[in-house]
A and B are shown apart, each in its own frame.
Chain A
Amino acid sequence: MEPLIIAGKKFNSRLFTGTGKFSSSIVMKEALLASGSELVTVALRRVDIKDKDDDIIGHLNHSQFNLLPNTSGVRTAKEAIFAAQLAREALETDWLKLEIHPDPKYLLPDPIETLKAAEQLVKLGFIVLPYINADPVLCKRLEEVGVAAVMPLGSPIGSNNGLQTKAMLEIIISQSKVPVIVDAGIGAPSHAAEALEMGADAVLVNTAIAVSPDPIKMGIAFKLAVEAGRMAFEARLAKATKHAMASSPLTAFLDE
């Protein structure tokens, strides 16, 4: 399988993961290790950056994991930039998952504030991965301001509804110059495989692993699904057809 490269960094796993909703930090660590995930996102709001022994950060201190701090909870570009700077200083990484959702019910991202913040953060030297709705034009605009990847949603976060935005994701994948990571809504390994088969570069999964009665096994299931989906993409998945192709009744006359 081809490795994925984002901002010059090589990833052997195309499964990125979240760290929320687990029943304990130990379960989180074991499940994420089993999933093979090398990029794990952690909410600044959940960690105590003043505490060197923070429980979540402590459990993510492992050579397999690269931290991707996120700004979940902020409502504006201004708040996001402030939070990003704190996260960079405390967690010693330029990587940032930019999340701006002023809507606490559906947690849908604000495209205008996200674009504004992304532009600023790129100038400040951050490696910005913005969480956005599956909006192809917005993805191009973000690409233009220099984000390292785009993270369009498959369906609302935590909904487990799969790739409801498939038609838009296909356009995004076909025209993006930066890696496309499908984030949010992936509730089953089959959803993850589908995204990779379509040509998405990676997926980000949290709820489906964290809330499973067996998060370790579910982590492995996602690992395998992501690998299968990617391999199928690389091997040029055959197109599905609606009818049998045994004969060519419409064009057979040409050979007669």
Chain B
Amino acid sequence: MNAIEHNIQEFIKAASFQEVVESYHWNEVEESIYAKTKTDVEEALVKKKRTLEDFKALISPAALPFLEDMARESQALTQKRFGKTIQMYVPMYLSNECQNICTYCGFSQDNPLRRVTLTDQQILNEVNVIKSYGYAHILLVTGEANKTVGVPYFRNALQLIRPHFSNIAMEVQPLEQSDYELLIQEGLHSVLVYQETYHEDNYKFHHPKGKKSNFDYRLDTPDRLGKAGIHKMGLGVLIGLEDWRTDSFFNALHLSYLEKKYWQTKYSVSFPRLRPYTGNLEPKVNMSDKELVQLICAYRIFNEEVELSISTRENEKFRNNIIKLGITNISAGSKTDPGGYASGLQALEQFEISDERTPQQVAAMIKEQGYEAVWKDWDESYN
């Protein structure tokens, strides 16, 4: 057992991930990733079970010449676990009200555009359109406006939506454990909560105002979800805010910690790259397509069971080709403005999407790649 693995064994005794992170230094981690060699990569590729040190090697610049080998391994591992299937899901934006200032986000409070929170009727109108596309898995998204879009709003929304979908996920502000417990009772299956960046100072720079500025509270959200007994949680960093390799290491560390501690929960990882929006923050770091493929394959080789998700932030060509390389979940036909499916309220979008194809067009593309687009892989009766 190497030092990091040993640490994780120790850390599952820790109260939360905060304690784990405290023993790592960003710069040291970054240096150790960039110091990985060809030999480290070769060793990582032939092993049966990969450690976090192997993950570092696989995301390092030294692994780029091995991309084809990584892709082959990633494809084989993904097919073994998930078969030749891709799970379809779609986001439904309930609100773009937000009291946070985030430098990279269209919903940022200082962005002077139209704010909308869907009424019951508007939610049902969206549900009808989304269902007509064939979706059974839905992701509910909001900004953070605790007074108007808090737990009572979510509870009501879940009650409205639950009869129509077999699997409901949420990507909203971090909540308390007791809130999650309540929402799970209402049929909530999964929660996505991205740390954005694990670099604390940089996090504070990008989140100067609002509840989201509390780095530690966000960092401990997956722990609260684990304690609440959530079926699945999704992790991720917003690629572009910091060195993506170092941030991805911390995300993988978080994943390993959570898997060991909350063993009854399933995990997914997403790789959002910063997209243009009406505020236009220039990414500090640009990640190439090649590097994104490297990261996706590295996650798969490191963790055979984790679900890997890709959204409409990525363009057609990239999405067509990534289907076979390790991805398990895909969204299609997404609208990132509340009410966007049914009414065209023309409220503020969170970001511009890059793949405008309809869900049916994307499903047809998946089929062409020799995969089955799976619409339903959960049953409402299981909640």
Q: Which residues of A contact B (CB under 8 A)?
A: 20-25, 43-48, 73-75, 79, 82-83, 86, 102-106, 158-160, 207, 210-211
CB pairs A–B below 8 angstroms (13 shown): A21-B79, A21-B82, A21-B83, A24-B372, A45-B376, A46-B376, A46-B377, A79-B382, A86-B379, A103-B263, A104-B232, A104-B266, A210-B84
For residue A217, give the distance in angstroms from its CB to the closest CB of chain B. 16
Residues of B contacting A48 in the complex (Cβ-Cβ under 8 angstroms)? 136, 166, 376
Cβ-neighbour of B83 out of A22, A25, A159 (below 8 A): A22
Inter-chain contacts of A210 with B (CB < 8 A): 83-84
> Whole-angstrom distance between the alpha carbons of A98 and B366 in the complex?
32
Decide if B243 is an interface residue (CB 8 Å cutoff): no
Q: Once A and B bind, how many residue pairs between them come within 8 Å at the CB atom?
A: 74
CA distance A45 to B137 in the complex (A): 12
| CA of A89 to CA of B371, assembled, Å | 31
Chain B residues close to A by CB (< 8 Å): 79-85, 136, 166, 231-232, 259, 263-266, 305, 367, 370-372, 374, 376-379, 381-382
Closest A residue by C-beta to B306: A105
Query: Do A45 and B367 have beta carbons less than 8 Å apart?
Result: no
Chain B residue at minimum C-beta to C-beta distance from A51: B376
CB pair B83–A207 under 8 Å, yes or no, is yes
Nearest CB of B to A93, in Å:
17
Q: Please give me the residue from chain A that is nearest to B83 by CB atom.
A: A21
Residue contact A105 to B263, C-beta cutoff 8 Å: yes
Instruction: Tell me whether B382 and A74 are in contact (CB under 8 A).
Output: yes
Q: Which 7 A-B pairs have the closest CB atoms?
A: A21-B83, A23-B84, A104-B266, A211-B79, A45-B379, A105-B305, A102-B264
Contacts of A44 on B, CB cut-off 8 Å?
379, 381
Cα–Cα distance between A20 and B376 once the two chains are bound (Å): 12
Q: Which of A24, A102, A106, A211 is the one whose CB lies under 8 Å from B80? A: A211
Minimal Cβ-Cβ distance residue in A for B232: A104
Whether the Cβ atoms of B83 and A47 lie closer than 8 Å is no
Smallest CB-CB separation from A47: which chain B residue? B376
Report the Cα distance A48→B134, complex, angstroms: 11
User: Which residue from chain A places its CB closest to the CB of B371 in the assembled complex?
Assistant: A23
Q: Which residues of B contact A158 (CB under 8 A)?
A: 80-81
Q: How far is the CB of B61 from chain A (nearest CB, A)?
A: 30
Residues of B within 8 A of A159 (CB): 80
Contacts of B136 in A (CB 8 A): 48
CB-nearest residue of chain A relative to B264? A102
Cα of A174 to Cα of B368 in the assembled complex, Å: 48
Report B-chain residues with C-beta under 8 Å of the C-beta of A23.
Answer: 83-85, 370-372
Chain A residues whose CB sits within 8 angstroms of the CB of B82 once the complex forms:
21
Contact of A73 among B259, B263, B372, B379 (CB under 8 A): B379
User: Are A86 and B381 CB-contacts (below 8 A) given A20-B83, A45-B376?
Assistant: yes
| Minimal Cβ-Cβ distance residue in A for B374 | A46
Asked whether A73 lies within 8 Å of B305 as measured between CB atoms, the reply is no
Point out the residues of chain B lying under 8 angstroms from A22, CB to CB: 83-85, 372
* Whole-angstrom CA separation of A102 from B229 in the bound complex: 11
B382 in contact with A73 (CB, 8 Å): yes
Q: What is the bound-complex CA distance between A48 and B381, given in angstroms?
A: 12
How far, in Å, is A124 (CB) from chain B's closest CB?
16
Docked pose: A190 CA to B136 CA in angstroms:
39
